């Protein structure tokens, strides 16, 4: 019998409906997303790209409440490795997202480092490795962000290692964690992105458990990933090839990941995110239903 995962709160996100942008003709309308995520059996959602869901707190509260949904987190992207000159533009974005996240009674802000390679055009924007000074900018900037977001909005930031960003591989993730203060910066472990970049999620949870503040659940197709790595394919085109696949078809196995997370003895969100941009409008719901059923079979 599967271990009862009573500390794990399962949800889903606009990402699992092929939503990457606030407004895009290839994406399903937000009303359909909310209807279908509730129909699939989830009770928690993320905000997704700021502006996709209504940004008026009263209206959004009404829309999620009538579907018995609650919000777990908002998301921002930032390039704090570039130094203090990035702060003002970062904070402008953060303040909008954090205010809405706070108004929805959520407690987390997922922070994704900026891409070094464009996820649509594959253009190389910056070197994939940071200099010593850039690492210092990144870590001190994230600590400042963590303090300010906590002080002003009462939210905890969780930094999301992500393909084609500077926090991606096991080496980079451990360097980031070892260089930051656990009181103000913790991790959103995305199981798919970490596997995509060669990392072992169970090992990370067992080694840095006190730093795991949030989970994104996804899997990668190992055969497609091997081709992606061999041919240095950027993340966006890799997603279009189906590198992020429906569980339990890929890696890592989610049962052991969830069991390791449960053993930490803290309440954790585990938000399903299957990158599928762009996708046919009728594709996400059946996958979401099957994924919810699969996670129940794991005890979640």
Q: Provide mean pLDDT across the span 8-21.
A: 97
Arithmetic mean of pLDDT, 202-225: 98
Q: What average pLDDT score do residues 289-294 get?
A: 98
pLDDT band, residue 103 (cuts 50/70/90): very high
Structural domains present in the chain: 8-298 (3.20.20.150)
Over 90: is that where the pLDDT of 276 sits? yes
**pLDDT for 119 beyond 60:** yes
Strand 244-245 with 156-159, pairing: unpaired
Residue among 126, 103, 110 at smallest CA distance from 78: 110
Which of 29-38, 114-123, 180-189, 291-300 is the least confident region? 114-123
- In 87-107, which positions are buried (b, 16+ CB within 10 angstroms) versus exposed (e)? beebbeebeebbbbbbbbebb
Retrieve residue 105's tokens.
Answer: 């009674």
Q: pLDDT digits over 70-98, tens only? A: 999 999 999 999 999 999 999 999 999 99
Give the CA count within 13 Å in the CB-facing half-sphere of 158. 23
**Please, are residues 90 and 149 in contact by the beta-carbon 8 Å criterion?**
no
Q: What is the mean pLDDT of the chain?
A: 96
pLDDT at 24 over 60: yes
β-partners of residue 156 are 108
> How many Cα atoms sit within 13 Å of 15 on the Cβ side?
22
Confidence of residue 181 (pLDDT cuts 50, 70, 90): very high
Name the percent of the chain lying above pLDDT 70.
Answer: 99
Digit-coded pLDDT (tens) for 222-244: 999 999 999 999 999 999 999 99
Instruction: Give the SS3 label for residue 92.
Output: helix
Mean pLDDT to the nearest integer, 172-198 = 98
pLDDT score, position 3: 67
Residue 8 C-alpha from the chain's centroid? 16
Distance CA 111, CA 106 (A): 15
Residue 2 pLDDT class (50, 70, 90 cuts) = low
Is beta strand 186-190 parallel, antiparallel or unpaired with respect to 212-217? parallel
Nearest residue to 165 (alpha-carbon basis) of 84, 271, 81, 232: 81
Q: Is the pLDDT of residue 4 over 90?
A: no
d(CA 185, CA 108): 11
pLDDT band at 121 (very low <50, low <70, confident <90, very high): confident
User: pLDDT grade, residue 122 (50/70/90)?
Assistant: confident
What is the pLDDT averaged over residues 208-232?
97
């Amino acid at each position: 019998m599967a271990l009862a995962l009573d500390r794990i709160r399962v949800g889903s996100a606009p990402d699992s409906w092929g939503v990457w942008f606030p407004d895009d003709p290839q994406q399903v309308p937000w009303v359909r997303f909310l209807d279908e995520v509730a129909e699939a059996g989830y009770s928690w959602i993320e905000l997704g790209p700021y502006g996709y869901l209504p940004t008026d707190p009263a209206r959004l509260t009404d829309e999620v409440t009538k579907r018995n949904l609650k919000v777990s987190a908002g998301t921002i992207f930032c390039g704090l490795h570039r130094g203090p000159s990035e702060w003002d533009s970062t904070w402008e974005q953060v303040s909008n997202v954090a205010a809405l996240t706070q108004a929805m009674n959520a407690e987390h802000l997922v922070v994704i480092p900026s891409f070094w390679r464009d996820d649509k055009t594959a253009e190389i924007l910056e070197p994939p490795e940071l200099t010593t000074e850039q690492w210092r900018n990144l870590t001190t900037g994230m600590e400042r962000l963590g303090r300010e977001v906590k002080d002003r909005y009462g939210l905890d930031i969780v930094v999301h290692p992500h393909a084609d960003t500077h926090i991606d591989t096991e080496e980079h993730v451990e360097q980031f964690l070892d260089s930051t203060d656990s009181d103000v910066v913790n991790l959103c472990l995305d199981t798919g992105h970490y596997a995509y970049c060669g990392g072992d999620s169970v090992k990370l949870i067992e080694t840095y458990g006190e730093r795991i503040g949030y989970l994104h659940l996804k899997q990668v197709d190992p055969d497609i990933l091997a081709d992606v790595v061999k041919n240095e394919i950027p993340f966006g085109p890799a997603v279009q090839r189906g590198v992020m696949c429906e569980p339990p078809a890929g890696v890592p196995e989610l049962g052991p990941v969830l069991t390791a997370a449960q053993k930490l003895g803290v309440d954790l969100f585990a938000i399903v995110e299957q990158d599928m941009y762009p996708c046919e409008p009728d594709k996400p719901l059946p996958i979401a239903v099957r994924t919810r059923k699969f996670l129940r079979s794991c005890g979640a």
